[in-house]
Amino acid sequence: MNKIHFFIFLLGCFTTSFSQDTNEAQHFWSSLQNLCGKSFEGSLELPKDDEQFGGKRLVMHVRYCSDAKIKIPFFVGDDKSRTWVLTYKDNRIILKHDHRHKDGSEDKITQYGGATTNVGQKGIQIFPADEETKKMIPAASTNVWWITVDDTTFTYNLRRLGTPRVFKVVMDITKPVENPDAPWGWVKD
């Protein structure tokens, strides 16, 4: 009888482990979707002395979410030119940077980024620069971006391999702030 109980116990363990969703990219995507409609303030961690970002109010607004796309405008002080665009396709995530002018027109350097090469982990996704980025910004061909999300923080990170270039913004997702106006050139989808 003990052997039967042991066998049933093992069968239950295997059934539970195989029935769990193992797609880490989907877990990550769901974590981002849980932030939809909310805005958060953060700080520049690296480089500390950056003139463009340092000392300015940094706010991200998870403004648009669908099953396949998430758009996160990122405000640097009064500059509303940046939106992180994430696309979920075939268990992979694509990160693009949409840069706009005040009149809504695209910047000449826009839509660069990369795609995950595997499903990643539920708390982090890594985006090496894609071919389009390499052609648009040759110096950025060694860029690697990564985004992390956990219960308390969202981080956006950049490392340009082979150079000292590094960038890290940490957003506190435990304290939503008032949603800002739309970014420049806002297009829902």
Q: Is residue 41 part of a domain?
A: yes
pLDDT over 90, % of the chain: 83
Q: Is residue 183 part of a domain?
A: no
Tell me the CATH number at 106: 2.40.128
Q: What is the pLDDT of residue 2?
A: 53
User: What whole-number distance in Å separates Cα of residue 89 and Cα of residue 126?
Assistant: 15
Structure tokens that stand for 154 in this block = 């969202």
Classify the C-alpha dihedral 35-172-95-52 as positive or negative. positive
Query: Domain range holding 105?
Result: 23-177
Instruction: Domain count for the chain, please give it.
Output: 1
Q: Is residue 185 part of a domain?
A: no
User: Mean pLDDT, to the nearest integer, of 151-167?
Assistant: 97
Q: What is the pLDDT of residue 37?
A: 98
pTM: 0.88
Q: Is residue 188 part of a domain?
A: no
User: What whole-number distance in Å separates Cα of residue 24 and Cα of residue 65?
Assistant: 18
